Structure formats: structure tokens, C-alpha cells
Amino acid sequence: MTEQYVKDKAELNDQIDALNKSIIAKDIALQEKIQKLNRDYDKLEQDQLRFENERQKLFDELKKSQQRLEEEVNLRLFFENKLNQLHAVNNHAESNAKLLFD
């Protein structure tokens, strides 16, 4: 019986060792997957930050372009108003001149 017990114990120890090696190998594989996922996550965060910075830059450029367009429109309206005023003054002056010379 002791010989059978020793044999069974050795067999169980071999099975335990095999299971431990299997668990260690799976643990190592999982750790490598976790490290890869962490690297991928870090890269995605960097990409997101880069895209967010680019989006903000484009938004700022759009805002500046809209502001310049608004300023240009206001300036154009100002000059059109001045031109219309000058045209009115010229017409008034021509009318007065015709009245004086007629």
C-alpha cells in the first residue's frame, strides 16, 4: 500500500506541477496581452489628444476666418456708405452749380 501511495502521490505531484506550469504559462500570456492592451490604449490616448489638438486648431482658424470675413463685410459696408455719401454730396453740388449758372 505504501508503494501505491508513493506512486499515486508522485503522479498527483506531477499533475500539480503540470497544472502549475500551465497556469504560469497562461498568466505570462495574459500579462503580455495586458501590456499590449496598455500600449495600444496609450497610443489611442495620444492619437485622441493629437486629433483634439488638431480639431481645436481648425476651430480657432475657422473662428479667425469668420472674424476676418465679418470685419471685411463691415469695412465694405462702411466704404459703400461713404461712397454713397460722396455721391449724394456730388449730386447736391452739381444741383447747386446748375442753379447758380442757369
Asked if the structure places residue 75 within a domain, the reply is: yes
Is 78 inside any structural domain?
A: yes
Q: What does the pLDDT look like over 49-93, one tens digit per residue?
A: 999 999 999 999 999 999 999 999 999 999 999 999 999 999 999
Residue 87 is assigned to a structural domain of this protein: yes
Residue 56: how many CA atoms within 13 Å on its side-chain side?
Answer: 6
Which residue in the block uniquely carries the three cell numbers 454730396? 89
Residue 90 lies in a domain: yes
Structural domain count, the chain: 1
Residue 4 belongs to some domain of the structure: no
Range of 75's domain?
Answer: 68-102
Whether 84 maps to a domain, the answer reads yes
Angle at 83 between CA 82 and CA 86, to 5 degrees: 85
pTM score over 0.85: no
Beta-carbon count within 10 A of 96 CB: 10
- Asked if residue 92 belongs to a domain, the reply is yes
Q: Is residue 93 part of a domain?
A: yes
